[in-house]
Amino acid sequence: MNEIDPRLRYTPETVRAYQTGDELVIKEGQLNSLAARIADEYRRDTISPSMVSGLLRVGEFLALAAISVLIMLVYVGVPQGMLLDYPAAIITGSALYVIFAEVADAYQIRAIRNSVAFFPRVAAMWTAAFAVMALTAFFMKTSEDFSRVWFGSWFLAGLVLLFAVRLTLNWLVRKWARNGTMERRAVIVGGGKAAEKLIRAMEAQPDNDVRICGIFDDRDDERSPLIVAGYPKLGNIEELVEFTRRARISMLIVSLPLDAENRVLHMLKKLWVLPVDIRLSAHSHKLRFRPRTYSFIGKVPMFDIFDRPIRDWDRVAKRGFDIVFSLLGIIVLSPIMLATAIAVRLTSKGPVIFVQKRHGFNNEIINVYKFRSMYVDQQDATARNAVTRNDPRVTPVGRFIRKTSIDELPQFFNALKGDLSLVGPRPHAVHAQTRDKLYGEVVDGYFARHRVKPGVTGWAQINGWRGEVDTDEKIKKRTEYDLYYIENWSLLLDLKILFLTPISLLNTENAY
């Protein structure tokens, strides 16, 4: 169990002491002490139910294929003259089971949680897969080519294997649910009676995988008490943004009536920049739509307002893309990086690599690597003063590597480490600004570009928005292209951007 669990019952006096900075507690940043402590308890990432279901699909396919191969090698040996027939049958049978089990909803998390009750359905799908294979072999007149002992043994061993796998995963899922490894962490936005009804309805759902971490509400009167259904009010909406950046939160559930249009829009305008799912509770609404209009937590209906971008298996695919192409880039470009390191070292005093703090995913501060292009005593780690044409702070070698973007090549190591993606919105320095305004002050919703990992290259860069940002229009355009990328992400788009990047670098008009 977590050390700090919002399911514990607090008293109004305890919560008020935390919120008002009682002498017994210490404020941390923008959060009161209670909110900070709870946020720190939820810093660890979780496994989503969809990831567990996906791994089960892959695991069952590989396990069924492996046990079939084992039986074949023990009883049949290496089938002479049928080197392709047996493997084809093994892959087909395993794949058919996975497809049938998917159609039968046997990969839903409720089926995994109730593995014994759902096993007859699983056994039926395994039987159906064998029936299809047997009928196909009969009509193709190839059934006599296969060993009946192998076929029957695979069926029986598969049943035992599937039962063992499901039973083991059932035990693991229940364990993960207890210790917080597999859960969807939610924050309720808006307090009072509406929030209480919502929480009671969610807690009434069997096998609920949503953990409520607390309540945030801008109201500070009797309509928004400090304790709602046993959960503490942790702060207002401004503090919620900080809380969500510190904790690994999956979902924000807005518990406000639809007729409170101004309050809902005001909150969403602040919250949409966060990399979380945002749902509007429809539990208390009298107006009802078709079921497909809603998503559900158990039987509690929700309106989907915003979805977290690049999640679950998309996130795995993008990480694999980053690792493969980062390694390839490091290998191919290592002669250029080595030559650049030598040139920087020989032509000016100081380290070869310049490390700058920039905004990363969810506004976290990361260290980004670059080849040093400025004289050490004139470096600007804060990037308050952007580099301009013929800037005297830039070394002769630095001028060349900045113009060609060779200075960015060490960021392949950032991508390999996981701080950056190869493709994404370019990371900006923490204090980057146009003239006398920070980027966040110039562009409404600027921080929405941090809903995904920043990238070594990006959609804005290949469309000509690279180099110096000396006007409000330039940062607005960059942000516009970055948000387009986030909303339209795919691996094909990443591949397109990656291969168009060298061509875009030929345009050095704004690169100083």
Q: In 10 A of CB 263, how many CB atoms?
A: 15
Give the mean model confidence (pLDDT) for residues 12-26.
Answer: 54
* Angle in degrees, CA 401, 407, 409, rounded to 5: 125
Q: Single out the residue of 512, 394, 503, 390 nearest to residue 457, CA to CA.
A: 503
Buried b (16+ CB within 10 A) or exposed e, 94-104: bebbbebbeeb
Kindly give the residue spans of alpha helices, DSSP state H, lying in 251-408.
261-271, 312-347, 396-403
Q: What is the value of pTM for the model shown? A: 0.80
Tens digit of each residue's pLDDT (9 = 90 or more) over 327-369: 999 999 999 999 999 999 998 888 999 998 888 898 888 999 9
Q: Measure the CA–CA gap between 444 and 351, rounded to whole angstroms.
A: 38
Q: Measure the CA–CA gap between 62 and 91, rounded to whole angstroms.
A: 9
Fold entry, domain 12-31+183-306 = Rossmann fold (3.40.50)
Structure tokens at 68: 């079939």
Strand-strand pairing, 231-235 and 210-216 = parallel
Q: Measure the CA–CA gap between 71 and 388, rounded to whole angstroms.
A: 70
Backbone angles phi, psi at 408, to 5 degrees: -90, -10
* Angle in degrees, CA 440, 312, 90, rounded to 5: 160
- In the predicted model, what is the mean pLDDT of the chain? 83
Tens digit of each residue's pLDDT (9 = 90 or more) over 455-471: 999 998 888 887 667 67
Structure tokens at 358: 């920039």
Q: What is the pLDDT of residue 294?
A: 73
**Domain segments of the chain: what residues?**
12-31+183-306, 49-179, 312-504
Tens digit of each residue's pLDDT (9 = 90 or more) over 227-246: 888 888 888 888 888 898 88
Tens digit of each residue's pLDDT (9 = 90 or more) over 373-412: 888 877 766 666 667 677 788 888 888 888 888 989 999 9
DSSP code, position 11: P
Residue 140 has pLDDT above 90, yes or no: no
Give the mean model confidence (pLDDT) for residues 9-20.
Answer: 60
| Residue 185 · residue 46 · CB < 8 Å | yes
Give the mean model confidence (pLDDT) for residues 27-36.
Answer: 70
Q: Which residues contact 351 (CB under 8 A, 6 or more apart)?
A: 372, 376
Q: What is the pLDDT of residue 404?
A: 86
Tell the residue number behind the tokens 């999640």, with chain if given.
311
| Residue 295 · residue 302 · CB < 8 Å | yes
Strand-strand pairing, 184-189 and 251-254 = parallel
Q: What is the pLDDT of residue 26?
A: 40
Tens digit of each residue's pLDDT (9 = 90 or more) over 172-215: 988 888 888 888 899 998 888 888 888 888 888 776 788 898 89
Q: Which residues contact 452 (CB under 8 A, 6 or more apart)?
A: 275, 309, 310, 361, 421, 424, 425, 486, 489
